[in-house]
Amino acid sequence: MNPFDLSGKVAVVTGANTGIGQAIAVALAAAGADVACVGRTPADDTVAQIRALGRRAEIVSADLSSIEPVQRVVDETLEKLGGLDILVNNAGIIRRADAVDFTEEDWDAVVDTNMKSVFFLCQAAGRHMIAQGKGKIINIASMLTFQGGIRVPSYTASKSGIGGLTKLLANEWAAKGINVNAIAPGYIATNNTTALQADEARNKSIVDRIPAARWGDASDLGGAAVFLASAAADYVQGHILAVDGGWLAR
């Protein structure tokens, strides 16, 4: 038996319309999973790619800036795809400003989306997974789970929080058959990092520090997601897997 085979599994991926979420959703489908693609904007392209692989895919519309749609995400997935085995909490936003100028609005917007909604979606999915005796939850962390960064205080706080939540949930749920882990992407070329890529000096300083000497591509995260979603990771709990081209090793 292939321990990485996800055939017969149903995954929920938030923020699945572009970038990291899209790449992870497609990678899970390529490994055999059916996928509920969750987001504010319809993930039509992602769904098309998944169906082209011969897997089922459905759109679940949800704005995760509040916890209002959280239970509905779980309910719609069960209704449309008949199960829920894997949850990938990828949806996230970022706001940039000097700490002395940072607004309450920018603080709340990021923390509500990146941490509060993540916890309550873990809770809603976790109730279902505990009842069935198994499940995999993968949170998307960040280099700023480990480091401070600059000019992104609410993002750093939220991603540091994701590291802690991942470990807490693993502590509570590991014995119930639920694996809770996280992936910490390094510098990945997506719409979230466009500003950094466009800043010539900042871009050079970033690439110069990455041992792999390049920005990551969203597809670089697919293998890590498949691993953590699969039976191959059954004894991996509370781990934050950096996929960073060696950034943290520097």
Hey, which residues are catalytic here? 155
Rounded to whole angstroms, how far apart are CA atoms 64 and 12?
14
Rounded to whole angstroms, how far apart are CA atoms 197 and 7?
37
Task: Please list the alpha-helical segments (H only) found in the chain.
Answer: 19-30, 44-52, 70-81, 104-111, 117-132, 153-173, 194-198, 200-209, 222-229
DSSP SS3 for 106: helix
The radius of gyration of the chain's CA atoms, rounded to the nearest angstrom, is 17
Q: In this structure, are residues 32 and 6 in contact, taking their beta carbons and an 8 Å threshold?
A: yes
